[in-house]
Structure 1
Amino acid sequence: MKSHILTPPVAQPGAAPSQAATGRTLNWGVVATGRIVAKVLGDLQALEDANVCAVSSRDVVKARAFADEHGIERAYGSYQELLADAQLDAVYIATPHGQHFEIAMAALAAGKHVVCEKSLTINAAEARTLVNFAGERSLFLMEALWARFTPAFARALAIIESGELGEISWVQADLGFLAQYDPAWRLFDPKAGGGALLDLAVYPLTWAVGALGFPDSVQAVAQLNADGVDTQTAINLGYAAGGHAQLMVTLTGNAPQQARVVGSAGWLATNTPLHNASQLIVHPTDGPARVEEFEAVGENYGYEFREATRCIQQGLTASPTMPWEHSVKTMELFDTIRASVGVRYPNDLLTH
C-alpha cells in the first residue's frame, strides 16, 4: 500500500540532516523568543548555509537579551521592524497560532520566504489565503511540522509502502500532558488559538495521514473549559475503503504519546513521544518482531530546515514533503472538528 505523503529527502534510517551547504547562504530572521525558538534555533544555526542574523519580540529588551544569548546580531522590538530588514531572505515564525496569519502575510508582502510553526493558521480560510498569496508572490511557504521530516517517521512510511504490514486498516495515536490552568497561557487563550486540538492533534494526525491519507468522514467529542477551548478531544476518522483512525489529544493528563499502525500482515508502533520517536517496534505476522533505533541529531529540527533551505535555494515555493494542500486540508479537518464540538476563535469572525 502506498503512503499518502511523500517520503522526506532524508529517508534513510538514522540518516542525519546534512549540515553542509547545498547552495547560497540564507539570512534568517526569527519572530518570537519563546521556548520553542530556544529549542529550534541551534539546529537551524548548525546548517552551514543558514545565517540567523535577526530576532524580534514585542519587548526589545527581551529580544536583545535573546539575541546576545544565541549569538544573533540584530534585535527588534516588533515583527514589522524585523520584516523591514532588507538583508533577510527568510523568516521563521513561532508566535502563538492566532498571530500566524497576520505575521506570515506581512512577511510574504515584504518579500520574505516563510517557515511558520504549526498549526499554520487558525482556520482553513486563513490557510487558503496565505498559500494563494505565497503563490502569487512566488515565495516559499512551509508549515513547520517537523515530525514529518524525522528519520523514524520516514522509515515508518517506507515500511508501510513496502507492503510488509499488508493493507493498512487501523491507526491509533495519542498525545497529551497535564497542563495546569493559567488564563494567561496561550494554551488556554482563545485569541491565541488555545486548546489541545490546534496545539497537539497535528502530530497524531500525521500518522493517520501517512498511513491512510485524509479521511472521508470525521467524528469528534471534546471537553471544553470555561474559556471555550478544548482541554481534551477524541477524534474518529473514517475511510471509504474501510480504514479507521482513532486519535486522542489532551491537556488533562500525561498520555502514552505513541502511535500504532495496523495492517493485514502486521503492525508497527512508536515509543514515546510519537512526534520524535527514537524507536519503531515492528511486528510482522509471519516473522520475528524487531526494534529499529534512531538517534536524535540536536533536537531533530534540522531535518525540516534542511528541506526548507534546499527548496528556497532551488526556487521552489512549496516543499514536496509538507505541501500546501496538506496544510489546507488539515485546517479544513480541524474546522470541521471545532464546529462539531463548539470551539470558536475570534479569528473565525474575520474575513480574509
Structure 2
Amino acid sequence: MISIKNLSKIYKSKDKMDVTAVDNLNLSINKGEIFGVIGYSGAGKSTFIRLLNRLEEPTGGEIVMDNKDMTSLNNQSLRNERQKIGMIFQHFNLLWSRTVFDNIAFPLEIAGVAKDERKDKVNELIQLVGLTGRENYYPSQLSGGQKQRVGIARALANDPKVLLCDEATSALDPQTTDDILDLLVNINRKLGLTIIVITHEMHVIKKICQRVAVMDNGKVIEQGEVLDVFMHPKEKTTRRFVQQVMGDQEEQSPIHYFVKNYQSGKVLRLHFVGETANQALISKLVKTFNVEINILQGNITQTKDGAYGTLYVHMDGNKEEIQNAIHYIHQTSVELEVEDHA
C-alpha cells in the first residue's frame, strides 16, 4: 500500500548549518494495518508524516501510495490524491466559529459535494464517532475527546484510504486517550483504512498497532511486529520506550535471587508471549497437580496482537508432582526457566 524509499528532508539555514530532519528513511506499510511510528521530541517523526502528503516537500526519496509516486505529482494531481489521505492533529485544528456539523461538512463543501449528500455523509460520520446529539455544539462546548472525535470525523469526510494521526492523543487524559484509540481501531475494522500513528507514547503503540518503527535523529533505528519489539528491543531508545509500559527489565531480579529464600521446591521463570498470556496456567497447574504455587514477581502487558510479560513463581510439593507440572508447562507455548532451591 505505502512504500517509502530513501526519504529525506533537509532544512537549509542562512548560516549554512543544515538540519537533517528525516535521513534516508525506508519503510513499507501494508494496506489496512495500523502502523506506529514512535520517537522522542526532535526524532523527525512529525516531519516524516507531513512528508507523506507533501505538506512538507521532501529533499529526496520516493513515496508511493496506492501505486502512485506522491513526490512526482503536479499540483492538481496532488490535490486529488490528498483527498484520499485524512489527517488528525494533536490540537484538533477545528474551526471555532463552526458547529460540529459544519466542521465535519467543511471538506465536503470544498470538494463541491451537493448539500443533501453532505448532510447524509455528515450524519453518518457523527454516528460513527459517537457524537450524536452534539451536531449543533461549537468546539468551545466540547471536551478534548469530543473535539478529537470531530477531527476524526472531518478527516474521514472524503472517504480516505489512509489516515495520518500526528500525536492525536497527546493532549488528552489517559481514559480519553483509550477511548480515542478504541475508536481508531473500530474505524480501522469497519472501513479497512490504513492508519499511521505518530506518537511518543508506547502505550499507544502497544494498544492499537500491529507494527512499529522507532525513529531517532531522523532515522528508523528499529522496526518490526510490536510483540517482537517488546520481546527483543535492540536499541537503547527502543528499550526506553518498552520501559514506559513494562518497567525497567534490567532491574528485575534474576531467577537465582529468589532461590535463597526457599529450602525446597523450584523457582520458575515463566515468559508469556501473545495468546499464551491469556491462558489460566497457574490455575490449571494447581487444579491438575498436587503442588503449591507462590507468585514472587511479575509484569504482563497487553498489546493489540496479544500480551507479553514475565512471571516468577515458587512451586513446592512432591518431587514427582513438581516434575509432572513442569512437563505440562513445557507442552504449552510458555517459555520456562527452572532453578532448584539452594
TM range (shorter): under 0.3
Structure (1 or 2) with the larger CA radius of gyration: 2
Higher strand share: 2
TM-score normalized by structure 1? Answer: 0.27
TM-score normalized by structure 2? Answer: 0.28
